[in-house]
Chain A
């Protein structure tokens, strides 16, 4: 593996990582977060998107140990240290699940309506789906 500082300096791509599945029914959420942290550590411009059941990943007071899972949700707090500050969430997905923006585990979540969410996603060059 080449060290971070040797990634060539072509025009930087904006990377979007889209989460649309619930946190503990599969490893998607953890795998997406690992990917985000790696892109962050290579100083790639990376945004996280949450829609559908993916919004549950940002909701507080979940105890993964009750189902013998590791609590990766607390790692979301580390995103800021990797300069990943663009975290977008779909308002409609939140409403449909009876959730509110006061229940997030991290502070800098940007809640967008469907159209804004879509427009924001389209501003990125690369999309990874989980």
Chain B
């Protein structure tokens, strides 16, 4: 499977996607990768701090990446439009994200049996 996330970290759709992906991984489903597009790229902002009584989306991505080596691909064009940068002095992209392009989504779509967007 592959996933495309087009919603920001405070969206319930993002939380649902995270739960869905975690369950798939727990059950041994092969998840080829997650692609972040549109405001979904905000999930990669290292400095986003969600209120402590909210679901900690950004932390969850990191946990899934660490536990399952889940590839997290970021569309760089969308990232730039949303204030993210990997420049040396202004880098705000969390290190567990891979900066990619839309071509990566083509690859994931081509390789996966299913592509899920919430």
A residues apposed to B, CB below 8 Å:
1-2, 4, 7-8, 10, 13, 15, 27-28, 31, 34-35, 38-39, 42, 44, 126-130
Contact = CB atoms under 8 A, between A and B. Distances in A.
A127 B105 CA distance: 13
A7 B4 contact: no
Interface string B84-118: 00000000000000001111111101110001010
Interface of B: 4, 6, 37-38, 77-78, 81, 100-107, 109-111, 115, 117
A7 B110 contact: yes
Given A35-B102, A38-B103, A128 B110 contact: no
Given A1-B100, A1-B101, A27-B81, A15 B109 contact: yes
A39 to B, nearest CB: 6
Given A13-B109, A44-B109, A34 B102 contact: yes
Contact of A2 (B38, B107, B109, B115): B107
A27 B106 contact: no
Nearest to B37: A31
Prevailing SS type, chain B contact patch: helix
23 contacts: A1-B100, A1-B104, A7-B106, A7-B110, A8-B111, A10-B110, A10-B111, A13-B110, A27-B38, A28-B38, A34-B77, A35-B37, A35-B105, A38-B102, A38-B105, A39-B106, A42-B106, A42-B110, A44-B110, A126-B109, A126-B115, A128-B115, A128-B117
A31 B78 contact: yes
B110 A1 contact: no
Shortest 6 CB-CB contacts between residues of A and residues of B: A38-B102, A1-B103, A42-B106, A126-B115, A7-B110, A31-B38
Contacts of A44: 106, 109-110
